[in-house]
A and B are shown apart, each in its own frame.
Chain A
Amino acid sequence: MSFFLETLAGGLLAGVMYALVAIGFVLVYKASGVFNFAQGAMVLCAALTFVTLRERGIDLWLSGLITLAILVALAVAVERVVLRPLANRPQITLFMATLGLSYVIEGTSQLLMGASVHELDLGIPDTPIELGPIQLSQFDLAAAATAGALVIALSLFFDRTRIGLSLRAVADDPGAALSIGIRLQTLWAVVWAVAGFVALVAGLLWGARQGVQFSLTFVVLKALPVLIIGGFTSIAGAVVGGLIVGASDSLAEIYLGPLLGGSVSTWFAYVLAVAFLLARPAGLFGERAIERV
């Protein structure tokens, strides 16, 4: 029983890490209806910048601040150079633009900072601690706490601030938002900057977990089933989706793996996502359009 619990808890904690990446997608998708393929590249860019600064001997918090400043600058540049000229184009055009953007960000990051694997130490020990009958990684718990704090901060941002309310308005009906004088360009820059901040948090935690390297961009692939299950438009959905994917992944690996010859976790989440697409295409928390008859 305690083995089951430990597997479950480990899976849930891993799921929090998936949720962190998925939240970045939700933000941009909500504000502009675009699946931002470059989110993975932003995670890599953030982690790589941070680790490079750290290796130069710069203080932990200062490195974080500088990286954040770079990501905000990146967000403003993306709005100016990519999004603004493509305004009023079909969403598939914007999606393709983010695909191109992801190569630019990846390539530039590696060109400037190298492609070798960096070790990232955030000063959080990765030793197990006993919680009743089960053992959990201290690092995973810290990551979960960080993600929880981030989700609360984002919810407050969207519910309580004017800019958050404007963002929800734009997500709901961009044409109407434009008609009452909401400046879409400003909001896009803001939302990309917030997505950059989320990418920074995700990049640091994932980077500390598995080393800062090119494969960080592949966390995107794990975020996709999370989004399908939780819904593309809900931060709560991203969290719940992440937990479901994390838990089912590790349980399937342990209990289903031996029967099927192993490595179940590479595909199990996708099968789950397909099941959700059939049963609940908007995801668990996705907003279905309110239709009046």
Chain B
Amino acid sequence: MTRSHDFLAVDSIEASYGQAGPVLRGVSLTVAEGSIVALLGSNGAGKSTTLRAISNLLGPQRGALRGGSIRWRGESTAALDPADLVHRGIVQVLEGRHVFGQLTVEENLRTGGFLRRPSRRQLADDLERVYGWFPRLRDRRSAKAGLTSGGEQQMVAIGRALMTRPTLVLLDEPSMGLAPIIVGEIFEIIRRLNREEGMSFLLAEQSANLVLAYADRAYVLESGRVVEAGLAADLATSGRLGEIYLGGAATATRH
């Protein structure tokens, strides 16, 4: 566990949007190098805000970090812009996929590669690697991304992020709106990337069951606070999860 502090360490961060009240009220978590960490919680618990805070993407949402600190490989990320962080190996796949709809699938992927100023050859190699993981995208390479299926768009969004050659990928609700079989396919690829390439993942998810099967550790957020943390396997079997964020309360029916 000592190594985790050399990788990603989030220490009691607080965040809010505009003049509104705090969304995060002291969230702390760590991601160890080479691990898959799940960030669970219901809608509005603060999962997206946590991920956006790590990537320094709160600004465009008119949000800001009000307290706490985030360290990436020992360095404070406070003064870094999103491009600096991508350059240092942290990339985020936004909730809702956000592919460039008017660009083709291949153009979408290429945009992810430009930051490192690769040679033509390197860019082509990286593209081949992504097609290797997502063979489906190769068949759809010249289709407009906006016209592909939801599952394909999620693969484009992940593939585009992989083109930046990240060491830590933040995935916000990768399963949202997708058929279970596609979600399974995507999680299998994430596991392979983790085992074969040593890539680390922080996965924000509402649906706990599947993600806990793939994650090493998990954190549960509720109203901007970490209410449960531990090994994914323990959380999955403890039965505490249903209590915590489905709450057993009537509100659960809203989802």
Interface residues of chain A, those whose CB is within 8 Å of chain B, are 87-88, 162, 165-166, 168-169, 171-183, 287, 289-290, 292
Contacts A179-B98, A287-B102, A290-B144 given; 12 further ones with Cβ under 8 A? A87-B60, A169-B100, A169-B111, A172-B103, A176-B100, A177-B111, A178-B57, A179-B93, A180-B163, A180-B164, A181-B87, A181-B115
**Could you give, for residues 77-92 of chain B, a 1 whenever the CB lies within 8 Å of some chain A CB and a 0 otherwise?**
0000111011100011
- A160 shortest CB reach to chain B, Å: 11
Contact of B252 with A by CB under 8 A: no
Question: CB < 8 Å: which of B91, B103, B107, B110 contacts A179?
Answer: B91
In the assembly, what is the distance between CA of A172 and CA of B85, in Å? Answer: 22
**Which B residues touch A287, using CB under 8 A?**
102
Question: Which B117-169 residues sit within 8 Å CB-CB of chain A?
Answer: 144, 146-147, 150, 157, 160-161, 163-164
What is the bound-complex CA distance between A183 and B116, given in angstroms? Answer: 12
Beyond A165-B107, A166-B114, A180-B112, whether A290 also contacts B102 by CB under 8 A is: yes
Known: A169-B100, A178-B82. A292 touches B150 (CB 8 A): yes
A183 near B102 (CB under 8 angstroms)?
A: no
**Does residue B203 face the partner (Cβ distance < 8 Å to A)?**
no
CA A169 – CA B163 in complex, angstroms?
15
A165 to B59, CA, bound (A): 24
Q: Tally B residues with Cβ within 8 Å of A.
A: 37
User: B62 an interface residue at 8 Å Cβ cutoff?
Assistant: yes
Contact A175 B98 (CB under 8 A): yes
Decide yes or no whether B55 CB sits under 8 A from chain A. yes
Which chain A residues border B62 with CB–CB below 8 Å? 88
B218 interface hit (Cβ, 8 Å):
no
CB distance from B165 to the nearest CB of A (A): 11
Q: How far is the CB of B146 from chain A (nearest CB, A)?
A: 3
Closest chain A residue, CB of each to CB of B86: A181
Q: Which of A88, A162, A181 contacts B83 (CB 8 A)?
A: A181
